[in-house]
Amino acid sequence: MTGVLPVTLEESRKIVQALLLSGKEYVCVMKLHGDTSEERVKAVLKEFEDTIYQRPPLRASVKRQLRTRRIYYIDFLEMEGRNVLFRVGCEGGTYIRMLCHHIGEILGCGAHMQELRRTRAGPFLEGEGMVTLHDVAYWFMKWQKDKNNAVLKRFIQPMEKALALVPKIYIRDSAVEAICHGAKLTAPGVVSLETGINKGFMVAVFTLKGEAVALARAEASTEEILKMERGIVAETKRVLMPKGTYPKGWKSGEI
């Protein structure tokens, strides 16, 4: 497989969980094991635009148990002989190899994944600020010579960019240090929040300056939080900001 692969460094490794769960997009070449019409292929591809069941393949590094994954879209691109080119947007953790296998079963002729390229991983898109490992090696050598940090900014991006698609809750400065110590976030500490927050789902806790503080599990939906005057809004799961970045400014009952 080729394409987009986000790489985290040092403290930013704490956000890997958010990247693993984020949506992906792939361009795939699927090899059919028999002849079939283009119209039939297009029709079957559209049948998979929904929640599907998958069991990880034998070579997978995770437990082989049946699970569900969401296919947001499958766009037929072209077909030449028994080679089918299509683009698929899917939930993180979807196995495209298994998807091709199941498409082949529905077609009745069998199929397997021939080539695969990841064109999006969460907020990171192919061609938008992405670099090759060759580029990284070249710029790193230049940085070693002149120690110009501007060179590193060509391929090292802020951790916050990886959280662009995660629903966010913005908190008061006085609540930041408490969250950095693992405290639960309560309603008085919330200043604003984004739509699309659902109970039990991951949210990102941010400062008013746009700095990532922590990853948390929402204990209420957006609509419920907006109505809350007290109570737990989110449970801190992964602290991203070092302790002591903001002054200790909370009082009992504030957050």
Q: Which CATH number fits domain 2-125: 3.30.1280.10, 3.30.2350.10, 2.40.50.140, 3.10.129.10?
A: 3.30.2350.10
The boundaries of every CATH 3.30.2350.10 domain in the chain are 2-125
All residues at 6 or more sequence positions from 87 whose CB lies less than 8 Å from its CB, including other chains: 25, 26, 27, 28, 73, 74, 75, 77, 119
For residue 204, list its beta bridge partners.
Answer: 168, 215
* Closest listed residue to residue 96, CA positions, set 82, 83, 111: 111
Q: Can you tell me the distance from the alpha carbon of 94 to that of 87, in angstroms, rounded to the nearest whole number? A: 14
Ranking 26-30, 151-155, 188-192, 228-232 by mean pLDDT, the lowest is: 151-155
pLDDT higher at 235 or 142 = 235
Q: What is the mean pLDDT of residues 74-89?
A: 97
Half-sphere exposure of 36 (CA within 13 A, CB side): 22
Residue 134, pLDDT score: 83
Q: Where in the chain is the domain with CATH 2.30.130.10?
A: 166-239
The fold of 166-239 is 2.30.130
Is residue 196 helix, strand or coil?
Answer: coil
